[in-house]
Amino acid sequence: MYLEFLWVGKTKNPHLAALEQDYLRRLQRFAPARIRALRAISEQDPRRLCERESEALMGALRPGFRVILLDERGKMLSSQELAEWLRAQQHAAAPGLCFLIGGPQGVSESVWERADERWSLSRLTLPHELARIILLEQIYRAFAIIFGLPYPR
């Protein structure tokens, strides 16, 4: 099972970018994984920006991959529930999982509808760069649970 993390724009904060790479390295112990940060789009109109980013995200999706959209309106999971879900995905037919985070304006209805699952990391509004770290950490934590590795609670 291949893991892909897809979003628009590079992580600008160097400390958070280093954390991203650290968690990516950790994840690669369990499954091939990569981050695909699409080129940021310059657009003044927020609605048009959302549409253009959504088009770019849709165009970057790999055929056959299960798409998990991170959105504040999504379903919330505990770490244990996430581990159980991830364990089940290891035996599923999809070649990989694509975890998708939209831009600050969210995603279009077409991306929302394309997603196989929609999750929320928190009821709170999180900065996108921080949401990326939380997602990577939680996927790593789920693997640690699956493999019975010690991990701080």
DSSP state of 106: B
Buried b / exposed e over 22-48, threshold 16 CB at 10 Å, is: ebbebbeebbebebeebeebeeeeeee
pLDDT digits 0-9 by tens, 34-58: 999 999 999 999 999 999 999 999 9
Rg of the chain, C-alpha, whole Å: 15
The CATH number of the structural domain formed by 2-146 is 3.40.1280.10
Burial class (CB in 10 A: 0-12, 13-18, 19+), 133: buried
Nearest-angstrom CA–CA distance, 44 and 63: 31
Q: How confident is the model over 89-128, as pLDDT tens digits?
A: 988 888 999 999 998 889 999 999 999 999 999 999 889 9
Q: Are 115 and 79 in contact (CB under 8 A)?
A: no
Q: Let me know the angle formed at the C-alpha of 63 by 74 and 2, rounded to the nearest 5 degrees.
A: 75
Average pLDDT for the chain: 95
